[in-house]
Amino acid sequence: MSAPVDPRHGMDVLRWTSSPRGHVESFFLKANDPRAPERALWLKWTVLAPVGRPGDAVAELWAIRFDGASGAHHAAKTTAAASACQLARDRLALEVAGAELGPGYARGGAGEGAARITWSLEFDYDDQRPMFGFPHLWMYEGGFPKGKLYTSCPQTRVTGTIERGGERWRVDGWPGMLGHNWGAAHNPRYHWAQCSLFDDGADAVFEGYSGKIRLGPALSPWLTGAVVRHAGRTLRFHALRRLLNRSVRVDARDGRWSWSFRARAREPDGAWRLDWRVAAPREDLVGLRYVNPDGSLNHCLNSKIATCELELTRGRERVARLRGTRSCAYEILTQDFDHGVAVLA
C-alpha cells in the first residue's frame, strides 16, 4: 500500500477543521496488566463538532479503569468547549481540561469528586510500527469510508500510575496501544477489537473490525477488515475486494456478546486464512453514550478485558493458534439500547 509508515507523517494529528459538515475524532490509549490482564485502563480524547455549528464544538475526556477480578469498573468523563482547549493541528498535542496527550505521554484526570480518575503515564512512541485499518492511502484522504481508523502505536508499553478514590495502580510496562479515528459520524454499527497480549507470550498483534455504513435509508451488510502481525511479518486481511464478508457472525444472547469471522489474503508465500472470535460477558462491559454530530445517539459497549482466539493458516498448514484470556479490547456500537449493560458515562 502507499500509506506512510511513520506516525509523524500527518496521520497522528488532529483532522478537525471548522467545516460546518460535522465531525467526530478521537485519540485513545489502552493497556492491560500482563500479570493480571483483567486489570486494564482506557483513556480517550474526543472532539465533537455539531453539524452546522462548528463554533459549538466540544472536547471530551473519557477514562475507564477495568477490574475484572472484583467486577468493579469505574468510568469518568469531562466535557469542555473545544475553544477552551489546546488542540494542535500540526503534531500530536492535545490538552482537554488540563489533561494532556502527546508523543509518549498522557497526564491528567477526568470526572469530579470521588469519581475522579487521574493518571500519569508514559508509553513507547518513536519505535512503533503503525498499523493501517484500510489498504490504500486514498481511503484516509477521501470521502469513503466516512469513518477512518489508524493505530500509530500497536504494541506499545505503558508505565506510570492510574488512581481512583485513593486506590493507585502502578502501571509497569503494560502492553497497550494508541489509536486514532475520525470522520463525519460514528459508524451506525460496528464491532472492533485489538489484542497484543496473548496467553503464550507470542510476539503478535491483531486489530480488526466489522462495520455497517449508510446506503441511503438502509445499512450495508457487514464490511470487515483486519491486520495481524505475527513472528515479525504483517498479514493484511483487508483487500477491497474482500471487505464484504459473509462469514461474520455477531451474537448477544444470555448476557454475552461475541463476534467472529473468517478472512483470506494472498501473500507471496501462498494463501492465508484468518479465523477470529472474541467474546465478553455483560459484567466485563461498560456502556458509554456516544453522540453524533447530527445529535443522534449510539451506545458503545466497551471492554478491555474480553477473551479472543485467532488461528492463522497458510495453505493447509496451521501457523499459529493464539488466545488472549481477558486481555482483548472489544467495542460494540449499537442503537439498540435494550442491552442491559450499565451505562457509566
Q: Distance (Å, rounded) from C-alpha 176 to C-alpha 128?
A: 12
Q: How far is CA 244 from the centre of its chain?
A: 21
pLDDT attached to residue 18:
86
Question: What is the β-pairing status of strands 223-230 and 94-96?
Answer: unpaired
| Residue 295 in grid coordinates | 445529535
C-alpha cell at 59: 472536547
Distance (Å, whole) CA 159 – CA 106: 10
3-state percent breakdown (helix, strand, coil) of the chain, nearest 5: 5, 60, 35
Q: Which domain holds residue 28?
A: 23-334
Cα(305)–Cα(123) distance, integer angstroms: 20
Contact 325, 199 (CB under 8 A): yes
Tell me, yes or no, whether 223 lies in a domain: yes
Name, in order, each residue with C-beta under 8 angstroms of 172's C-beta and a sequence gap of 6 or more.
159
Beta strands in 58-166 (DSSP E): 58-67, 74-81, 86-87, 94-96, 99-102, 105-110, 117-123, 131-132, 147-164
Q: Is residue 17 included in any domain, yes or no?
A: no
Query: Grid coordinates representing 16?
Result: 478537525
Domain membership of residue 345 (yes or no) is no
344 is a domain residue: no
Considering the domain boundaries, does residue 8 fall inside one? no
Q: Can you tell me whether residue 107 is helix, strand or coil? A: strand
Residue 227 covered by a domain = yes
Task: Read off the CATH number of the domain in which 284 is found.
Answer: 2.40.370.10
Number of separate helices (H) and strands (E) present in the chain: 1, 24
Query: How does 273-291 read in b/e, with b if 16+ C-beta sit within 10 Å?
Result: bbbbbbbbbbebbbbbebb
Are the beta carbons of 209 and 190 closer than 8 angstroms?
yes
- Residue ranges of the chain with pLDDT lower than 70? 1-10
Phi, psi (deg, nearest 5) at residue 114: -65, -20
Rounded CA-CA distance 17/48 in Å is: 11
How many structural domains comprise the chain? 1
**CA separation for the pair 61, 80 (Å, rounded):** 9
Residue 313 in domain:
yes
Q: How far are the Cα atoms of 23, 32, 88, 131, 166 from residue 194, in angstroms, in the given order?
A: 24, 12, 27, 11, 30
Kindly state whether residue 269 falls inside one of the protein's structural domains. yes
pLDDT at 142: 85
